[in-house]
Structure 1
């Protein structure tokens, strides 16, 4: 059997491997990012749980809601909350959204 060259414009095996390697690099970078941000997010959850008080699921929803309402990445929301514990001021939109979310949780708990 004679091997034919790839058709014009068709991806070669090398092209396919390059795309797969790039996809794996991006996945590895995402996992590295998760490893560095996960502890901060967990600490922020703990702060919300202690402040509200609420369950860890409710605290997660607060973080997600804050991220969506303020258009700030969740990992950055978490950093603001954890930094706020040490006295660093939160950006006003994040602070306002956090206070509103905590008030809602407290109101539902009576």
Structure 2
């Protein structure tokens, strides 16, 4: 068994003896954004067309952000949305963790706007 395989085994207390906090290159890049559709609340999944782990993440970001921009009218203007739009215009893309934060911000602000708070 190699080191990666042994890292998947649980130790005495249920914690892996070793683990990796990162992985390989990104396959498909995905962003999930909440929007209002009549009386329904929906989530739109934006997924990059480029899916090879060998392709540059900036290419994937550009694809997703362009698709998001094309559907901008669906979404409430939130801080999270604004951050994504700034990335589209500036070309300075966030990390995957930063993206998740922006998605959560957008969701919370969207719900708050719908509830009027």
TM-score normalised according to structure 1 size: 0.24
Higher relative contact order (CA 8 A, sep 6+): 1
Higher helix share: 1
Larger radius of gyration: 1
TM-score normalised according to structure 2 size: 0.23
